[in-house]
Structure 1
């Protein structure tokens, strides 16, 4: 996958992935993440994650609802984490291939465009 801007990726739609393709290498993922402030690689290069501290519990739930709508529209679903009522995180990977695909970066770009009420 060539490195693409967040704006370019946000205009794309996730494509169905049922496996049978190789995941993006950790090196390719690291290069792509240079375009994604705040996101980091986790699970030995197999996932990407971003964390925020929101104003309150309700702000976190509103953000998760917005994430859910974007994810459902693209058919690609993140793991959403809420800890300590204000600490929210989004984790992405393509389950069918056990690693990262372009879909993960498309959804990350779209999530980065969502409003979020930070602390």
Structure 2
């Protein structure tokens, strides 16, 4: 128990974790603190005030799981959504005749993007 607490306190001393966040983390049990420390060490991600408050709140409600720690500490991974790109038909009318189906237009665009990437012109 002392090792995890000492490591977290060291981060507070080095100002990697703010004092308020350190106080919030002190409410977590040893196992929960270890989950937080693992994320800090693996991802170099430190809890901000909002995150530490959420961790403390979930802990107080006996709802803090390892998965919830990850959801709070790594929100971008939880909320990552696949991109969807659409074009208005009038933007494509200059490039494709009316005979082209949506699938054919998609295939042409993808093949052009593949060529662009092969030439190293990708942004």
Q: TM-score range by the shorter chain?
A: under 0.3
Larger RCO, structure (CA 8 Å, separation 6 or more): 1
- TM-score, with structure 2 as normaliser: 0.21
User: Going by fraction, where is helix more abundant, 1 or 2?
Assistant: 2
- TM-score, with structure 1 as normaliser: 0.22
User: Going by fraction, where is strand more abundant, 1 or 2?
Assistant: 1
